[in-house]
Each structure stands twice: as structure tokens, then as C-alpha cells.
């Protein structure tokens, strides 16, 4: 390990600076991860898969929707309301960027291996 006394130069930004605060939160990262594995997922599945309360999941879905990272569709099946979430292209790209930053961070911490 070496000592450092000044910030790295341009082009050597620390990977942690590329983490997106909107996505990096555990529940929102989980939502985007689940949605990357399927075309869409319903509210109950996301809630149960991620161990969230209804209110907590609802808030995280709103944050992601407001950022344009997911699309929410509310429908009625018979008399029962059902909420579906699906990732947008922007959401898929944002998740890919987040994962790349995490991989770079892990690589850096593992000594570049």
C-alpha cells in the first residue's frame, strides 16, 4: 500500500464517485436488479422478494419513476388493482453504469486482480 498526498489527476477518478445516489440505495438497487431479470414485476413480488413494507416499496418505486428509471403501470384484474413495474432503457443503462462502477471499485480494492 502506498501513501497519497494529493488528489488523483484527471482520468483517475475514484470509482466511488461514479456511484449514483438514486440507484445505490439498497432497496432501489434491488428493484432495478429484479427488473433487469424480467420484463416486468408486480408490486407484491417486489415487496416479498426484497423484504420491504408496502409503504417503503411504494416510496422507492416513486423515486425511481420520478428519475425516469422505471415505468409504473396500474391495472385492474377483475376487481383487484395490480401495480406493475418495468425498467426503462434509461434504468437499464443506469444499472449497467452502477454495476461497472462497483466492479471497478472491487477491482481496485482487490489490488487490480
What is the average pLDDT across 65-90?
97
- Number of helices (H), then strands (E), in the chain: 5, 3
Q: Give the pLDDT confidence score for residue 2 in this predicted structure.
A: 61
Count CB neighbours of 15 within 10 A. Answer: 16
What is the average pLDDT across 33-48?
97
Domain count along the chain: 1
Q: Give the pLDDT confidence score for residue 10 in this predicted structure.
A: 54
Query: What CATH number is attached to the domain comprising 50?
Result: 1.10.10.10
Task: Tell me the pTM.
Answer: 0.86
pLDDT at 86 over 70: yes
What is the average pLDDT across 42-62?
98
- Assigned domain for 110 exists: no
Give bridge partners of residue 8 from the DSSP assignment: none
Q: Give the pLDDT confidence score for residue 6 in this predicted structure.
A: 58
What is the average pLDDT across 51-70?
98
Amino acid at each position: 500500500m502506498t501513501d497519497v498526498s494529493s488528489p488523483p489527476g484527471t482520468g483517475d477518478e475514484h470509482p466511488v464517485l461514479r456511484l449514483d445516489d438514486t440507484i445505490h440505495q439498497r432497496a432501489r438497487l434491488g428493484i432495478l436488479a429484479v427488473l433487469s431479470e424480467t420484463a416486468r414485476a408486480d408490486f407484491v413480488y417486489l415487496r416479498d422478494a426484497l423484504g420491504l413494507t408496502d409503504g417503503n416499496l411504494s416510496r422507492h418505486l416513486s423515486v425511481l419513476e420520478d428519475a425516469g428509471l422505471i415505468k409504473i403501470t396500474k391495472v385492474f384484474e377483475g376487481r383487484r388493482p395490480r401495480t406493475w413495474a418495468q425498467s426503462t432503457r434509461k434504468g437499464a443503462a443506469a444499472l449497467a453504469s452502477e454495476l461497472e462502477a462497483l466492479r471497478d471499485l472491487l477491482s481496485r480494492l482487490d489490488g487490480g486482480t
